[in-house]
Structure 1
Amino acid sequence: MKSVLITGSNRGIGLELVKKLTDHVSPPKIIIAACRNPDSAQDLQEFSKTHKNVHIIQLDMTQSDTFDKTVQEVENIVGDEGLNVLINNAGILKETATINDITAENLTLHYLTNTVGPIMLTKAFIPLLKKAAAKNSSLPLGVLRAAVINVTSVLGSISQNTSSGSHGYRESKAALNMATRSLSVELKGDGILATVIHPGWVKTDMGGQNANLTVEISASNIVKTLYSLTEKQNAGFVQYDGKELPW
């Protein structure tokens, strides 16, 4: 993997993915860590000072009108090699609402951040992903060639929804899953893999302290899974350790 861009890299799973990829036996030459407020991302800033392959850029997933500028900034970093992997990790969980509690504003915010943002960002980066896929055309489908990895949640699984609640989060992630299936069909011919990964229930600001996984365990397993992805997992729904999940 020559280059990877990870959204939501200021904390939690995103930040830990930056660290785990850097520590990989064969780390990416370029790791682009995107976050909404780089100046306040102190842990990321400190980490980048001792890891010269980490580049920090500003990116707000709700501001799709800025994505073309982001692509240009990334192209200035990766050059003619293109972008190998886009990891759409940034997301929000603002409520645990039932049907009696939800509002249109809340639903819209979840869709904008968790679904529309990743779709539009992927669209913007398709030229750079295609360039990477073409440069590595001798390699099979996977992250060493080109891939879009959308971080989802098992809460977006329709068949496993037995508890309801969290309408905005659940439904935006289910929509992201569907979008990824569509992308997997459209981009396969260009040599670009598309899949969704559930990171597990992780002890983060979003997951809470009752979660059963640390960010270190989740991120280290995600990295192993990323490197193991093949054409078989194109259009797949897998969790952090590679286990397939039901849609």
Structure 2
Amino acid sequence: MSSILIVGATRGLGASLRALYSSKPGTHVYATARSSTPEPSPGVTWLTGVDVSQPDVGQKLISRLPSAKLSTVIISAGYFGFETFDSPDWEKQVQMYTTSAIGPVFVVHNLVKAGLLDQGSKVILVSSESGSITLRHEKEGGGNFGHHASKAALNMVGKLLSLDLKAKGIAVGLVHPGFMRTEMTKGVGFDKYWDAGGAVTPDEAAQSLASFIEGFDINRTGEFWAPRGPNDIGTAEEVLGKNLPTPLQLPW
């Protein structure tokens, strides 16, 4: 039996990953919910009241998980608070940094120390191409400081975790799952870019991400990838050139 933990599994990509993995024979999913009490689902054990932005997130997880190895941990919880240069928002930025770049450290730390992650385990941190400094380009302008910078911080966290955990045989990957048609992107007005930007459904993104994770191992630990390739990355050709491969390794 393969055990997978999905942190942030009630909506968007996390919900699609939960449904996908729980449908696979021989796979059991441990899925976190921040505040709701989801309906029971075959192949899923819900861990409720788990908030990645809170200091006790790691302790809560290990107190509710069985003492058995997790094959994969996917941290997909996220928050996007829209900002412009004329209206930066302190509280939104704090929440974005905490959710994206602080909470994952404490999740992974506690899981490793409890022996739930060890040789052969994989940790997948859901980042975004928006966290690549190299891919930022004048055609997209500035703004959204907390969103972009918290993802850049997450990329650094993932790189550092990969260095800490390589000797233990635990692979850490950073991924841009794709531009998605979710309530999160709609909530910040990005639905107007869905068609032109090649946005996909969370189910489509989950399928390509799961395929990527299957082939991901310690040889690529600490790397930053776009499993769906460059098509939804607006600055990819300007910065990286044409005829780019899929999956695409992204620059920091």
Superposed, 1:133-172 pairs within 5 Å as: 133-134=118-119, 145-162=120-137, 163=140, 164-172=142-150
Which residue number in structure 1 is paired with residue 249 of structure 2?
Answer: 244
Match of 1:110 among 93, 96, 108: 96
Count residues with an aligned counterpart.
Answer: 221
Superposed, 1:63-82 pairs within 5 Å as: 63-74=54-65, 76=66, 79=67, 81-82=68-69
User: Match for 1:85: what amino acid?
Assistant: T
Superposed, 1:126-205 pairs within 5 Å as: 126-128=112-114, 130-134=115-119, 145-162=120-137, 163=140, 164-205=142-183
Q: Is the 8 A contact 1:133 1:192 kept in 2?
A: yes
TM norm structure 1: 0.83
Superposed, 1:190-229 pairs within 5 Å as: 190-208=168-186, 209=191, 210-211=193-194, 212-229=199-216
Deviations 1:201-236 (A, max 9, x none): 000011234431111111011110010112332111
**1:3 Cα shift?**
1.0
Q: Following the alignment from structure 2 to structure 1, what is the Cα–Cα distance between the partners of residues 88 and 44?
A: 39
Local SS of the residue matching 1:106:
helix
Q: Is the 8 A contact 1:203 1:215 kept in 2?
A: yes
Local SS of the residue matching 1:33:
strand
Unaligned runs of 5+ in 1: 135-144
Q: Following the alignment from structure 1 to structure 2, what is the Cα–Cα distance between the partners of residues 195 and 224?
A: 14
Q: Is the 8 A contact 1:87 1:150 kept in 2?
A: yes
Q: Is the 8 A contact 2:100 2:151 kept in 1?
A: yes
Deviations 1:156-209 (A, max 9, x none): 010011122211110000000001001111100001000111110000011234
User: Match for 2:181: what amino acid?
Assistant: K
> What's the C-alpha RMSD, in Å, of the aligned pairs?
1.8
Which residue number in structure 2 is paired with residue 122 of structure 1?
Answer: 108
Which residue number in structure 2 is paired with residue 37 of structure 1?
Answer: 35
User: Match for 1:194: what amino acid?
Assistant: V
Which residue number in structure 1 is paired with residue 45 of structure 2?
Answer: 55
Structure whose residues are more often helix by fraction: 1
TM norm structure 2: 0.82
Unaligned runs of 5+ in 2: 229-246
Local SS of the residue matching 1:133:
coil
Runs of 4+ in structure 1 deviating by more than 3 angstroms, as ranges, are none
In structure 2, the CA distance between the partners of 1:13 and 1:101, relative to structure 1 (3 Å rule), is same
Q: Following the alignment from structure 1 to structure 2, what is the Cα–Cα distance between the partners of residues 101 and 131?
A: 43
Deviations 1:40-86 (A, max 9, x none): x4xxx25x1xx1x2100121112122431321211x3xx3x322221
166-175 vs 102-111, which moves further: 102-111
Q: Is the 8 A contact 1:38 1:57 kept in 2?
A: no
Which residue number in structure 2 is paired with residue 6 of structure 1?
Answer: 6
Identical aligned residues as a percent: 27
Q: Following the alignment from structure 1 to structure 2, what is the Cα–Cα distance between the partners of residues 222 and 193?
A: 15
